Structure 1
């Protein structure tokens, strides 16, 4: 059975304002095209055409642009996250009734990535219960950080004060359906959110085998005006 893809797009994008103006953060244009459109097209081209988008803040901007997805060659559904500050695990919880398959693709809507990264995690998912994608970064305390053993993820720590490595968790995953049960067991973090990393750690501790894939190619999670401009410049050059 073909996997579904879930895109998280409910957040307010506070850290990117005022740089993104009146745009929903996933609808900011990079090289003249909304970021979310780029993500949808990458999924479509990998035959992941059943897409669920988690929305809240400025959701009309997304829903009016994509509609049912047919104009973009996909089937689009929308799920409303009541509290966009509830955390990533809370956002994923919202799609539980939409996922009946053994596993699904999850993408953070504000991530910009090369399509070959998606290729790699899909191939690796054939051999693991789930797949997490990582990238070495210079400022690991701003990200979820992974500890790995070969191709196996052993531990994830969300935005640690003292990072055990500089291997950041990117916003691309293949997750088993059991993640929904783990989310129900997830406790509120010290940041006051339900963290998806904590839910994944529950499954790892239970013995679920999560594979590790390095993000080979361009990946960015823009966090300020300079990074927005950097991503825009890269995409224009690679167009």
Structure 2
């Protein structure tokens, strides 16, 4: 299966901690960029064809990983013109590189246990798409998922009223058809093209979307405290 990694973000929330000289995905943990851990996990589970969406300081990412051959991978890059365009906009730029009827989408700045990717890949044939979710007490800063049984029945980005305590955890297996639905959505109140809006169109069109619940570690570091939690997790669970 092919993977699309979103690595174009400006990392504005962490700028006071990591500065503006490196992309958030290239933040060093044990002297290794965060993105390298993600790519190594993908390779472990047999995902070797990668499309990387880049923008901010893209040369650092491209110079480090190059075409992926030295890692036994095939890496292609696409440039998101507006890094504030939203997650759906980022996926749209990968359209010309995506092949196959499904693809694995990974938020490149999220940190999770290795097994999370293994679990989502195991379920890829059971549904039209699979979304990783995580239980959170405060869901106001995340995309929130509503489920019924083993299916997702609704999804909304940063809702004013939460429909559940399950949030998007940065891992998706999506049908290729979502690329067409992305073309139909309009900017949100934040003036971004939200992936959640495109996924909601999949649901409205009767696509069977399942989910896996991440019980272990997952974090999208947004401040110094969360960054330290991420470092501690990597120190304890990953080789340098």
Q: Which runs of 4+ in 1 moved over 2 A?
A: none
Aligned to 1:18: 16
Across the aligned residues of Structure 1 and Structure 2, the Cα RMSD in angstroms comes to 0.9
Q: Is the 8 A contact 1:53 1:77 kept in 2?
A: yes
Q: Distance in 1 between matches of 2:75 and 2:205?
A: 33
Q: Distance in 2 between matches of 1:32 and 1:234?
A: 14
Give how far 1:31 is off.
Answer: 2.8
Aligned to 1:6: 4
Q: Distance in 2 between matches of 1:79 and 1:86?
A: 14
What are structure 1's unaligned runs of at least 5 residues?
none
Q: For residues 41-80 of structure 1, what are the structure 2 equivalents within 5 Å? A: 41-80=40-79
Q: Is the 8 A contact 2:2 2:99 kept in 1?
A: no
Q: Distance in 2 between matches of 1:30 and 1:219?
A: 16
Q: Distance in 2 between matches of 1:236 and 1:32?
A: 11
The total of aligned residue pairs comes to 237
Q: Is the 8 A contact 1:125 1:131 kept in 2?
A: yes
SS in structure 2 opposite 1:134?
Answer: strand
TM-score (norm 1): 0.97
What are structure 2's unaligned runs of at least 5 residues?
none
SS in structure 1 opposite 2:83?
Answer: coil
Q: Distance in 2 between matches of 1:162 and 1:40?
A: 36
Aligned to 2:147: 148
TM-score (norm 2): 0.97
Aligned to 2:218: 219
SS in structure 1 opposite 2:140?
Answer: helix
Q: Is the 8 A contact 1:116 1:217 kept in 2?
A: no
